[in-house]
Structure 1
Amino acid sequence: MVNECAPLPRFAAVGAGRMGRGIAIAFAYAGHRISLIDLRQRSDAAWQRLQGEAKAEIEASLAGLAQLGVIDAAQIQSIAARVDFVSAAGAPQALAAAELVFEGVPETLEAKREAFEQLNRHCRDDAILTSTTSSILVTQLAALVRLPERFLNMHWLNPAYVIPVVELSCHSGTDAAVLARTKALMDAIGKLPVVCGASPGYIVPRLQALVMNEAARMIEEGTATAEEIDKATRYGLGLRFAALGVVEFIDFGGCDILHHASREMSASIDKGRYAAPAIVDRMVEEGRLGLKSGSGFYDYEGRDIAAYRRDVLSRTLGELKHAGLWRAPASETLP
C-alpha cells in the first residue's frame, strides 16, 4: 500500500486500531499523507487481514461523511489513498521520515514501553513524539522517551476526524518550542488544540465523567427518566454550553450564583459532590463575581459589555435555530 515513488509521509500514527485510523483520516482529510504503522510482528495473512480491516473502516467512515453531504462520494478513494499502511517490517523507514508521531498502542505501560523503544531507536531527534493515551500521565511516559523534551500527550476525542478539540498535556520538561510547533501543526489540519497540565482526565473527560455519573445517579434515584435527562441536557445544558464555555458561563451568570447553588445542593443532596472549591468561595469574598462586577475568572475592564451580551445571545440563538427550536413571534394576540 505504500507509494514507493513518493517521499514518505511527514506524519505517522503508531497502532492501527480505532484511534490510529481516526487520526489517519484527520490528516488525510486535510490533504496530508500519513503512515499508519503496526509495530507487531505478524504473519503475512494476519497483516493482510489487519490492513484490510483498517482500510475498510477508513473508507466506511469517509462514506458516512459522503452520505451526510460533507464530501463527495468521488473523494472517498482519493482521501483514503493518502493513508500508507505500514507493517512492522517497514516501520523503521516510516518512523525515520516522520516529524510528528502519534503513539496509540494498547493502554498498558508495557505496551507503551515496547512502542517507545522502537520510536526511540528509529525516529529522528527533531521528531515530536506524542501519546494518545487517555489514562496514563505524561509524566509517567516521559521517562520512556529518549529526548523527553520533544514529548507530550495528545488526547483526541472520538471520532478523531470529526471533533476539533485535541488536548495537549505537557510535562515540566516539554520544550515550549515543541508545544508551539505541535499546536501549529494541529491548527493547520483544522484542529483546536487546548493545553493542560499533567493531571488525570485531561479537561473534557474529567468534566464529562461528573455529568455522566450524576445522570446515571438521577436515574438510579428515580429523579428522572433517561429520556427526560437527555432532553434536558441536549436542549438546556448542552445548548447553553455550546454557546458559552463552562468558565465563561460561571462569569456570565455570576460566581455568587454558583456559590449559593453549591451551598444549597451540598446541604440537600451530597456535601462531597456539591461543595464549592475554595477558589469560588474566595472570589465571592473578594467581590470578583464575573461580568456584573467587572472581573471574575476573566477580566472585563474596558470591554464593551453590551456588545458582549449581544454576542452571547447571538451564539445561543444560533444553537436554538440549529436544533430547530426557535420559533417566530406570534402574528396576533391569542385569546
Structure 2
Amino acid sequence: MRPVIGCLGAGRMGRGIAVVFAFAGHQVVVIDFKQREAAAFEALAAEARAEIRSTLEILSRIDLLAPELVATIAERIAIVPRQQAAAALPRCDVIFEGMPEILGLKQTALAEASRLAGERPIIASTTSTILVDDLAGAIEHPGRFLNAHWLNPAYLVPLIELSPGKLTVSETTARMKALLEGIGKVPVVCAARPGFIVPRIQSLAMNEAARLVEEGVASAEDIDKAVIYGFGFRFAVLGLLEFIDWGGGDILHHASRYLVDALGDSRYAAPEIIEANMREGRIGMKTGQGFMNYDGVDQAAYREKRLAAFAAALRAMGLARDPVA
C-alpha cells in the first residue's frame, strides 16, 4: 500500500508535488488551508484542477506520460477545503506544507495541521527561505518534522534538498529519503543553513551573470549561450567539487589568485579549504585525494565513463557530428 500524501496549501508548490506523487501511483489530498467561502473555494479548486490537468497534458505531449493515463492520474488527487482538514490530515502518511513564505503564517498553519493530523504522519515544510528550526517549535511531536526543499518545476527537477532540524529524529530523514527515492527523485541532506545548497550556488552564478552584462563583457544572449553550452553542459555530468578534483585544486587556487588581482575584487578569492588542500597535497585525482577519495579507483575507466556521458549529452543537444572521412 503506497503512502497517502497530503499537501497543505493549494498553491503552485502543492499542485506540483501532488502531480509528482499521483504520477507515481499515490493518492494525494491537497488541502486549501485558507479560510474561504464555499464559492471562493470552488473557484480555487477548479483552477487547481485545471492546472494539474494542464501539467499532465504537457507531460503527455513531451512523451513522459501516455495520453490515456492523464485522467487516471488526475483522479488520484483530491482537493478539499480547510473545513475538511480534520478528516483529511490523519489519513495522510506524509504531509508537505506549501504555504506562502511568511514565518508567522507557516507557524500557525503547521501548529494547527500537526495537531489535527495526530503524531503519526511525517510533516515537511517546503520553504525555500526559512530555517527548519524556526518552524519546528510550532509542531506537535517535532521529531517527525524536517524541511524538504523542492526545485521548480517540482514534477521535472529530480533534486530535493532535505534539511533536518535539531529536533528531527534520524528515522524521519531516512523514511523521507526512501519515499522520495521510491518515486524517482534524488534527495540530498544538508545542514539547516540559509540558502541550502542549490540556491546558494545559483544566487552567486546569477548575480555574476548579471554583472557581466553590467560591465559590458558580453551580451545577455552570449552569456546565456556560454552557460548552456559550456557551464551547464559540463556540470550536468561532473559535480562542481568533482570538477575541481578532475582538473586539480591547484588550478582553482592559482586562477582565484589571478582573478582577485586582475579584477581587484576579493569575491573571487578561494575559501580556506582550497588553501588547506594545497598545503596538505589533496590536489584531486592526480594525488589520489581531493574533495573525493580516489584510492582504488580505476581512473582511466572513470574518465572514460564521464566522457561517454558528455558524448551522450552532446548527442541529446543535437551537436554531435560525424567525422569527416
| TM-score interval for Structure 1 and Structure 2 normalised by the shorter chain | over 0.9
In 2, distance between residues paired with 1:230 and 1:258? 23
Q: Say whether residues 1:155 and 2:116 are aligned partners.
A: no
What amino acid does structure 2 have at the position aligned with 1:316?
Answer: F
Kept in 2: contact 1:13–1:35 (CA 8 A): yes
The reply on whether 1:316 has 2:310 as its aligned counterpart is yes
| Contact preservation (8 Å) 1:9, 1:97 | no
The one-letter amino acid of 1:277's match is: P
Shift of 1:33: 0.8
Instruction: Write out aligned runs for 1:60-139 (5 A).
Output: 60-139=54-133
Matches within 5 A, 1:178-327: 178-327=172-321
State the Cα distance separating 1:9 from its structure 2 match: 6.9
Q: What TM-score results when the alignment is normalised by the length of structure 2? A: 0.98
Which AA in structure 2 matches 1:43? E
What amino acid sits opposite 1:199 in the alignment? Answer: R
Unmatched segments (≥5 aa) in structure 1: 1-6
**1:222 aligned partner, one-letter code:** G
Instruction: Give, in whole Å, the separation in 2 of the partners of 1:42 and 1:55.
Output: 17
Partner secondary structure for residue 85 of structure 1: strand
AA aligned to 2:265 is K
* Cα distance, 1:147 vs structure 2: 1.4
After superposition, what is the alpha-carbon deviation per residue over 1:89-108, rounded to whole angstroms, capped at 9, x for unaligned?
11111111111110010111
In the alignment of these two chains, the number of paired residues is 325
Deviation at 1:40, TM superposition (A): 1.4
Deviations, residues 192-241 of structure 1 (Å, cap 9, x unaligned): 10110011111111111111110010001100001111111101010000
Provide, for residues 293-331 of structure 1, a one-character-per-residue CA deviation record: whole Å limited to 9, x for no partner.
100001111111111011111111111111111112111
Identify the match of residue 40 of structure 2 among 46, 54, 57: 46
From 147, 166, 171, the counterpart of 2:165: 171
Helix, strand or coil at the partner of 1:155 = strand
Range that drifts further, 121-130 or 207-216: 121-130
User: Does 2:13 correspond to 1:24?
Assistant: no
Residue by residue over 1:154-173, the C-alpha shift from the partner in whole angstroms, topping out at 9 and shown as x without a partner, is 10000101111110011122
TM-score (norm 1): 0.95
SS in 1 for 2:124: strand
Which digits, 9 at most, give the CA deviation of each residue in 1:20-63, with x for residues without a partner? 00000000000111000011111111000000010000011111
More displaced stretch, 125-134 vs 63-72: 63-72
Q: Do the aligned residues in 2 keep the contact of 1:8 with 1:97 (CA within 8 Å)?
A: no
Aligned residue type for 2:279? E
1:248-289 CA distances to partner (integer Å, 9 max, x unpaired)? 111111111111111111112243310100000010111100
CA distance in 1, matches of 2:74, 2:173: 29
What is the one-letter code of the residue matched to 1:125? Answer: E
Q: Does the CA-based 8 Å contact 1:9-1:94 persist in structure 2?
A: no
Q: What secondary structure, in the 3-state scheme, does the structure 1 residue paired with 2:147 have?
A: strand
Cα–Cα, structure 1 residues 41 and 279, in superposed 2: closer, same or farther, change >3 Å?
same
Alpha-carbon RMSD across the aligned residues, in angstroms, is 1.3
Preserved contact between residue 9 and residue 35 of structure 1 (Cα < 8 Å): no
Number of the residue aligned with 1:3: none
Which deviates the most, 9-18 or 212-221?
9-18
Which residue of the partner structure matches residue 4 of structure 2?
A: 10
- Out of 127, 138, 141, the residue aligned to residue 135 of structure 2 is 141
Amino acid at match of 1:209: S
Q: CA deviation at 1:153?
A: 0.6
Structure 2 CA distance for partners of 1:95 and 1:8, relative to 1, 3 Å: farther
Q: Distance in 2 between matches of 1:213 and 1:43?
A: 43
**Are 1:37 and 2:31 matched, yes or no?**
yes
CA distance in 1, matches of 2:205, 2:252: 16
**Comparing 217-226 and 144-153, the one that deviates more:** 144-153
- 1-structure distance, mates of 2:25, 2:3: 11
Tell me how far apart the structure 1 counterparts of residues 264 and 108 of structure 2 sit (CA, whole Å): 44
The SS at the match of 2:236 is helix
1:312 maps to a residue whose letter is R
Q: Is the 8 Å Cα contact of residues 15 and 104 (structure 1) preserved in structure 2? A: yes
How far apart, in 1, do the equivalents of 2:61 and 2:124 lie? 33
Q: Secondary structure of 1:161's match?
A: coil
